[in-house]
Amino acid sequence: MHGNNKSLAELEAAVDYGVGRIIVDSFEEIDRLAAVAARLGRTASVLVRVTVGVEAHTHEFIATAHEDQKFGFSLASGAAAEAVRRILAHAPHLRLLGLHSHIGSQIFDTSGYEVSARRILRLHAEIAREHGIEMPELDLGGGFGIAYTSEHDPLPPKSLAAEMADIVDRECRANGVGIPRISIEPGRAIAGPSTFTLYQVGTVKQVRLDGGASRSYVSVDGGMSDNVRTALYDADFSCTLAGRASNATPVLTRVVGKHCESGDIVVKDEFLPADIVAGDLLAVPGTGAYCRALSSQYNHTPRPPVVAVRDGKARVIVRRETVEDLLALDV
């Protein structure tokens, strides 16, 4: 269970249900969780989220290990070591299993993980020496990138696993500690490639650019309400004409949504057939992670359905929202 501001009710539910690992994120949360566990007569298993000071090669809003941000306990300031002391003081209501770090999202190489692992395993060894315990687990987080466009080149899972295992083995040997049980959180690397978003074209407009060039603006029946990542993170997506083939000349195209925002862009730059018209279908791949979860009813636009496809058969697994759904909570 993650979160930088878990409510009392959320912690009570997690302890009561028996959530396996609660990632503690603040000194207040340590005391709050210990009180909940004591009141319920349980022992909560925890990992300490450590801010390791690594700048991942990603957008600043999804880089999560530099010092000036909301997540975790700072390694450099000693806050992480202090968090460990406070957790141990709350035994038996809290059981310290290990350390956790997460350096960002949409990362394509292991250099950042190497620096992160070196720093967090150094702390792991210091804790072993100071407290006489070797914590049994280590969570190196995730953030592994996926191919949103043809320019993205993610590492195969086998290669990624081998490189990270080598990093951990080398650092544990250097620090004289045993290798803990390693966890990772692949996140979008599992969910992202599983899904594409299917839009219908509503309008096509030619806009003249500086220097005499032009760009085709293709508006679709969705936008930042179902995929805000382009507007929020300047994320890159690709798209393709779906439902028919075309031999028309490719033209520079920007796919935009239907909302009252100039930043309502789905795909910033793509070459699509010149004969694209209203009613055509466009498929945007790689939308299985952080699209539905970030979706909204902006401009009171009902969200689209989620359709599962297997062996040539389709079924709705989350139905389309209606105007009645939008009004259902009005008192």
Pairing label, strands 214-220, 196-208: antiparallel
Q: Does the annotation count 260 as an active-site position?
A: yes
> For the segment 62-113, what is each residue's pLDDT rounded down to a tens digit?
445 456 778 899 999 999 999 999 999 999 999 999 999 998 888 888 888 8
Confidence (pLDDT) at 68? 74
Choose among 159, 151, 166, 19: nearest CA to 97: 19
Choose among 104, 1, 8, 81: nearest CA to 46: 1
Confidence band (pLDDT; 50, 70, 90) for 57? low
Confidence (pLDDT) at 261? 94
Higher pLDDT, 106 or 319: 319
Domains of the chain, residue spans: 8-191, 195-327
Confidence (pLDDT) at 108? 85
Q: Annotated catalytic residue: which of 172, 239, 260, 291?
A: 260
Would you tell me which CATH number, out of the four given (3.10.560.10, 3.50.50.60, 3.40.50.300, 3.20.20.10), belongs to the domain 8-191?
3.20.20.10
This prediction's pTM: 0.86
Higher pLDDT, 274 or 187: 274
> For the segment 262-274, what is each residue's pLDDT rounded down to a tens digit?
999 999 999 999 9
How confident is the model over 135-149, as a mean pLDDT? 92
Q: Which CATH class is domain 195-327?
A: mainly beta
Distance (Å) of CA 37 to CA 7, 8, 12, 205: 14, 11, 8, 60
Determine the Cα–Cα distance for residues 238 and 245; give it in Å rounded to an integer. 17
Q: Do domains 8-191 and 195-327 have the same CATH topology?
A: no
Strand-pairing partners, residue 107, are 144
